[in-house]
Structure 1
C-alpha cells in the first residue's frame, strides 16, 4: 500500500504544474508545485520513521546543494528580475532531498514509479491526439498540439524524456506485460512527429539508441569488432558520422530561418558570456543583457542579410548550457555538469537505464531548446536524478548486515532532514498562499482597463506592481492604463522597468509613442531607433519614425519621406493587413510632401 501511495504522490509532484492556476505562468504555478512538495515531504517524514531506509549523503547531494546556494547568492535581490527563479531553485533542492529519502525507502518501488511515469506519458499523448483531431483546444492559437504546455516544442520534449523509461521496461518485460509496454510506447511515439520539434526528434533518436545499446551491450560488441577488423570499424564510424551530418543538414533546411535565428542568438550570447565568463550576470538577467548585446551588434554596422531578417525577440537562449553561463557563469555550469555526470555514472552503475535515458534525452534536448525555463522539466529532472542514485531495494546478505548496523544513524539522519524539509515546504506554502488572489486582482485590473476605467485600473496595477514587476505583459498593461489617463511620462517610467526584464523591441515602440504624445520628440526618436537595432527588418519602427517626422514641432520632410519610402519598398517579414494599412498611410504622406 505504501508503494502505491509513494508512486501516486511522486507522480502528483510531476503533474503539479500542469493545472491551470492564477495567471498560469511560472511564478503562479509555484504554489501548486510547493503544495505537492509539502505533501511529498510528509510522505518522506513518514517513511524516514520506518526501519530500512538506506538514505545517506553522497557526492551529488553536495554538488546540487552547493550549486543552488551559489545560484541564490548570485541573484540581485534589489533588481528583482525573476524572483520565481530563485524560489524555484530552492524548491527543487527541497524536492531533491525529499525524493532521495522516499526512493531510498524499501516501502517505495522504483518500478511502480516508472509505471506511473509512463502512465503520465500516455495521458499526455492522448491529450495531444485529442487536440490534433479537434476534440480539445490547444493552449496556443497558432498550434494545434500543445498538451498542457503553451508550445508544441516543450510538449514533445517532455514526451521524449519519458520514452526511454518506457523502452527500458519494454526490453525487460515478458509475456502479456510486453504488449502493454508496446502499446504505451507506440502511443507516446505516434504524436511526436506531428509536433514538428527537431530538437525532440534528435533527443529521441539519441536517447533511445543509448538505452537499446546499454541493454544489448553494443559498446563491448563494437570494441571487440574494432580489435578484429579495425579498418571496417573506421569505415562504419565514418559512415555514421557522414549520415549524422546529412541528417543535421536536412533538419536545418526543414525550418532554415528558425535554425538561423537560434544560431544568431547563440552568437550574441557568446559575446555576452565573453565579457563576464566566470560568474555571469545573475539569475533572470538574460533578456536585459541580450538586448544590449544585439543592439550593439547592429549599431556597429555588423550583421548579414540573414541575421537582420531573423533577428527579433529572444526570450531564451535556446541552449540551457549557454543560459547557465549567462546567468551563473562558468562556476554554475561546472556545478551542473559535475552533478549530471555524477548522477549518470551512479545510475549506470545501478543499471537504471530508464532514468539515465530520460536524463540523457533532457540533456540533448537542452542543447537547442529551453526546457529548464519551464517548471515541469526541472521537476522531472530532479526526481529522475534522485531515482538514479537511490540504493537498490534488494541487497546481498552482507550488505543487509551492514545496513542493520548503520540503520539507527541513517534513519536518524533521514528523520532530521525530513523535519527540516517539511518546515521549508511549509514556509513556501505560507509565503505563496496568496498567489491565486494575486492573479484574480490582476485579472480585475485588466477588466477595468479594457472597460476604460483607467484611474481605478491604474490604482489596481500600482498595488500589484511590487509582486508582478517581473512580468512584461503586466508592465505593458500598467503603462497602457497610465497613458490612457494622460500620464505618458509615468507610463514611460514603467516601461523602463519592462526593458530590464524583457528585450522585446515592441517595448521601445510603445515607449516611443508615449514620449511622442508627451512632446518629447528626441526621446521618441531614440526609442524607435533602438527598436530598429533590435529588429532591423521590421516595418513598424520605420512607420512610427515617418509619423514622428511630420509632427509640426519636429518636422523633417526629408527624413519623413525616407522612412515612408522604406515602408513602401521594404519586404515585410510577414505580410498582413496591418502592412497594407501602413503602406496606404505612407502613400498619402508621400503625396503630401512631393
Structure 2
C-alpha cells in the first residue's frame, strides 16, 4: 500500500513550481543535485523505519567526523576550504558547517533530555556527542548555527511550560517565562554584538528582497530570479539613498539569507504559503519513539537555521532537509493499493533512473568546471559562469558571450566592471560609463568602479569630468584601505597635480 502524506503533496506542488515557473532555464550540468535530493527523499519515504534509523546514525557519525576535522583544522594539521577562514570542515565556509552541526545538536539535546535520570554508558555517549557537536558549532563562529542548536533547548522549555500549565502551576509558568525572556534577550544581544555589521548587512538584503517580492507578489520572478535581479535592486536602492547608513555594509550578495523570503521572491506568496504550511503541519506529526521526536526537533532547527542562512543552496544540507522531511510521519491524506510485486519493482526502477541520470549529470558538471567548450551544458549555471567570467585563460572569442550570460544570471559589481572594461576597449564609452556607474551603485563602498570611471573620462578626453570626479574619489573613504586603493588614489593625485600646474 502506498501512503500519500500531506508533505508529499505540498512538496510536489512546490517542486513543480520550481521547474515550471522559471526566470532562468534549467541548468543541465547541475541537474544531478536535484536528482540526488529527490532520491534521498524517495528513499526516506520508501524504506522501512529501521533503515531510516540506521541512516540517522550515519548522519550523526558524519557530524562527529566534521567535528574531528574542525579540531584538525584548529590545530593547523589540515587546511580549510576557504582562504579567509581557518575552520570550514568539509564545507565551503563556516556558515553551513555551523548550521549542519547545530541541526544535529538540537536533535541530540532532545535525546539527552529524554534519557535524563538514566545513568548508563549509552547516556554518557550521547552527552559526549552533544558536547562535541556544540563545540563544533561554537568553533565555526556561526550565529545561525547556534540558533539552530538552541532550538533543542527551546523545545524542552516549551514542553516544561505545557507540563506546568497542565499542573495548574501558573505562578511558576510566569516566573520561568520571564526568566526565559531575559535569557533570550541577552543571547540575542550577544549574538548581534558578535558581528553587528554582518547582522545589519543581512537586514539590507532582506529589505531589498522584500522589494523584489512586492513587485511580483503573486507569481514571483521564477526560479533563478532572485540572483538575476537582487544586485540591480541593491544598486537602485543606493542610487535613491546615496547617504544610507547601509553603504559601508553593502557588498556583492549571492544569497538572500532567508529561505522563506527566497521562495517568496521567486514563487510569490503561494510559494511562501506552501512552505509555511509544511512547517505548520510538522506540529501535527505523529511521534512514535525518541528517534522520530529527535528528527522533528532537528527539522525545526533546520527551519530556524534557514531563516538566517542559505541551506537550500548547499546540496548536502538540502539533502539533509529531504531526509528529515521524508522521515517524519506527517498526516496521511489518502492511500493507493498497489500489489507488492509492482510496488517493489517500481521502487527499483525509479531508484535506477534517478541514480543513472544523477551520475550522468554529475559527470557533465565536473567536466564543465574545466572545459569551457561545454558552454551549452553550463550556460545557465551561475557558479560556473561566474568562475569563467573571472578567468583570464578563457579564449577571447568566448569572453564576451560568457560575460553577457553571467550578467543575466548573477550580476554584481565585478561583472559590471568587466563589462565596462570590455566596452571601453571597443570604444563604446557610453555603455561603459553605464556599467561603471551601475557597478558603483551596487557596492558604493568600493573604489574600483569609481576609479574606472575616472580612467574612462581620461580615455574620452573629458578632462574636466576626470578632474571633478578625481577630486570626489580622493575625498571618498572606502570600506577597505588596501595597497590597490592607495595606488589608485596616488595615480589620481599625480594627475591632479599636473592639472593644477597647467592651470
Superposition TM-score, scaled by structure 1 size: 0.76
Q: State the alpha-carbon separation in 2 of the partners of residues 158 and 347 from structure 1.
A: 24
Tell me which residue corresponds to 2:463.
557
Render the CA deviation track for 1:160-186: whole Å, top value 9, x for unaligned: 111133233334365221222222222
Q: Does structure 1 conserve the Cα–Cα contact (< 8 Å) formed by 2:221 and 2:267?
A: yes
Consecutive aligned runs of 4 or more in structure 1 exceeding 6 Å deviation: none
562-571 or 346-355, which deviates more = 346-355
Deviation of the 1:484 alpha carbon: 7.5
Asked if 1:123 corresponds to 2:65, the answer is yes
Tell me which residue corresponds to 1:376.
316
Q: State the alpha-carbon separation in 2 of the partners of residues 287 and 408 from structure 1.
A: 43
Render the CA deviation track for 1:401-432: whole Å, top value 9, x for unaligned: xxxxx998463563254044224314514641
Q: State the alpha-carbon separation in 2 of the partners of residues 256 and 119 from structure 1.
A: 34
Q: Does structure 2 conserve the Cα–Cα contact (< 8 Å) formed by 1:103 and 1:390?
A: no
Aligned pair count reads: 492
Q: State the alpha-carbon separation in 2 of the partners of residues 581 and 326 from structure 1.
A: 41
Q: State the alpha-carbon separation in 2 of the partners of residues 175 and 497 from structure 1.
A: 60
1:389 aligns to what SS in structure 2?
A: coil
Tell me which residue corresponds to 1:367.
307
From 471, 488, 498, the equivalent of 2:382 is 471
Call closer, same or farther: CA 1:492–1:116 in 2, change over 3 Å. closer
After TM superposition, list the pairs within 5 Å mapping 1:512-531 onto structure 2: 512-531=420-439
Tell me which residue corresponds to 1:457.
none
Tell me which residue corresponds to 2:270.
331
Q: Which has the higher contact order (CA 8 A, sep 6+)?
A: 2
From 226, 235, 241, the equivalent of 1:286 is 226
Deviation of the 1:374 alpha carbon: 0.5
Deviation of the 1:98 alpha carbon: 2.0
Call closer, same or farther: CA 1:390–1:360 in 2, change over 3 Å. closer
Q: State the alpha-carbon separation in 2 of the partners of residues 360 and 223 from structure 1.
A: 23
1:56 aligns to what SS in structure 2?
A: strand
After TM superposition, list the pairs within 5 Å mapping 1:19-418 onto structure 2: 56-76=3-23, 79-80=24-25, 82=27, 88-104=33-49, 108-170=50-112, 171-172=114-115, 175-210=120-155, 212-213=156-157, 217-224=159-166, 227-229=168-170, 233-234=173-174, 236-299=176-239, 301-302=240-241, 304-348=243-287, 352-389=292-329, 409=338, 411-412=340-341, 414-418=343-347
Call closer, same or farther: CA 1:411–1:483 in 2, change over 3 Å. closer
1:549 aligns to what SS in structure 2?
A: helix
Q: State the alpha-carbon separation in 2 of the partners of residues 430 and 197 from structure 1.
A: 33
Deviation of the 1:366 alpha carbon: 0.7
2:123 aligns to what SS in structure 1?
A: helix
Deviation of the 1:473 alpha carbon: 5.3
Q: Does structure 1 conserve the Cα–Cα contact (< 8 Å) formed by 2:108 and 2:130?
A: yes
Deviation of the 1:578 alpha carbon: 0.8
**Over the residues paired in the alignment, what is the CA RMSD in angstroms?**
2.8
Q: Does structure 1 conserve the Cα–Cα contact (< 8 Å) formed by 2:28 and 2:377?
A: no
Structure 1 portions without partners, runs of 5+? 1-53, 392-405, 446-460
Tell me which residue corresponds to 1:428.
357
Q: Does structure 2 conserve the Cα–Cα contact (< 8 Å) formed by 1:532 and 1:538?
A: yes
Q: State the alpha-carbon separation in 1 of the partners of residues 194 and 406 from structure 2.
A: 35
Structure 2 portions without partners, runs of 5+? none
Deviation of the 1:556 alpha carbon: 1.9
